[in-house]
Structure 1
């Protein structure tokens, strides 16, 4: 299980945290001719070896990197503007299945390279997961409902403020779940609703209101679910 968590962390870092938007744009435009596709593949293999911390894992890391590149190349060649959401989901599920396969094939559990406690890997992976990866997931999923008037009401907002607010609220929720303060989640949701009420009332746009509510509820739901999974895994180590 810990090996999978480490590989999941490597995937999150390679696919979301350390992959600039410029890389994605260049890959979509140039496909197999993009140098960033191959840098992306190398990054995933490197992260898999480093985070697992075993020389014997190198062949499996190569397998993960190569299959990652193949999956990405299939997505780049077949996705269209209207099917990007579908291909995003298929792409991520395929990568996760490859990680599961690598874990099942790899029999060596003697991970002594790091001195970190297993709880560290659970915590850091959960924290990384609720930041940029979840933001990209939510943005991709709800983009189908994005109201046309949304951009006109964001001119006076701080740059990327909504994104950072979402990340912070999910981090708070993780802390509340792990410390057993579920009532604080309700308070956080109520506080956000109060602050957003004025903007939504001024906008007088039902679609915008529904769009914000869907994004908020998905964000809270994902954070609670991840927090509960982290709590369960941490309890198993006691």
Structure 2
């Protein structure tokens, strides 16, 4: 319960009670900005309030001190190029502190890491990311359309967007299957058909359409088979 309370305090403090102008001021003045100290105070106060137990005062203090240190390091070390990575590292560090506090009082343990079901599911989910992308790419390697055909459809495509869309769709399909919501798989296929194949129809490139269709069916098929294997 303490883990959930501290996570809730963090979400409220970092994403709800932190105005955008505070973020800008912190990035401009760094540790000299009063907004940073107000931000840390809000996190500490929220932790006190949500824990609602005077005996756990030290947790709120640790949250406040660690939050200041982590945010100060982020402000001084991040650049415009590393801002995205700095955000996720910052959030990961805050989560790690909360995990360590919860672990120190025995509320959270890591016995689940030895659970065969957890390990099996984790292994399959990891496989459905980049390994599955590589397998699909190899299977389709002999059918890669000509560059000019791809350019007609992907003139404004994001870099590597297709790869990450494939990873996300496989993970979603896998999740739908293991939670026994097969209707979600149908929704995914319908949604992708509407958004993807309308562009291909406009391009009037049959080879490219068939190439994308085969790739999509392979992606969904691998995710479905993986989900069935885990269920069995």
C-alpha distance 195-86 of structure 1, shift in aligned 2 (>3 A) = same
Deviations 1:22-80 (CA, angstroms, capped at 9, x unpaired): 22122111111222211211111122122222122222101111110110010000101
Radius of gyration: which is bigger? 2
The root-mean-square deviation of aligned C-alpha atoms, in Å, is 3.6
Unaligned runs of 5+ in 2: 108-153, 159-171, 204-218, 220-232
Q: Which range moves more in the overlay, 24-33 or 71-80?
A: 24-33
In structure 1, the residue corresponding to 2:81 is in which secondary structure?
A: helix
Q: For 1:49 and 1:201, how far apart are their aligned partners in 2?
A: 56
> 1:60 corresponds to which residue?
59
Contact map agreement 1:41 1:65 (CA 8 A) in 2? yes
RCO higher in structure (CA 8 A, sep ≥6): 1
> 2:72 corresponds to which residue?
73
C-alpha distance 202-62 of structure 1, shift in aligned 2 (>3 A) = farther
Q: For 2:5 and 2:155, how far apart are their aligned partners in 1?
A: 40
Q: How many matched pairs?
A: 145
Q: For 1:188 and 1:76, how far apart are their aligned partners in 2?
A: 42
C-alpha distance 104-187 of structure 1, shift in aligned 2 (>3 A) = same
Contact map agreement 1:60 1:106 (CA 8 A) in 2? no
Q: For 1:10 and 1:70, how far apart are their aligned partners in 2?
A: 18
Shift in Å at residue 90 of structure 1? 1.9
C-alpha distance 71-148 of structure 1, shift in aligned 2 (>3 A) = farther
Deviations 1:191-220 (CA, angstroms, capped at 9, x unpaired): 33234236755997xxxxxxxxxxxx9xxx
Contact map agreement 1:6 1:52 (CA 8 A) in 2? yes
Contact map agreement 1:27 1:37 (CA 8 A) in 2? yes
Unaligned runs of 5+ in 1: 109-146, 152-172, 205-216, 218-238
1:85 aligns with 2:84: yes
- Correspondence 1:192-231 to 2 at 5 A: 192-197=191-196, 200-201=199-200
Contact map agreement 1:4 1:100 (CA 8 A) in 2? yes
Q: Which range moves more in the overlay, 86-95 or 64-73?
A: 86-95
In structure 2, the residue corresponding to 1:82 is in which secondary structure?
A: coil
- Correspondence 1:131-142 to 2 at 5 A: none
C-alpha distance 81-45 of structure 1, shift in aligned 2 (>3 A) = same
Q: For 1:19 and 1:188, how far apart are their aligned partners in 2?
A: 36
1:49 aligns with 2:41: no
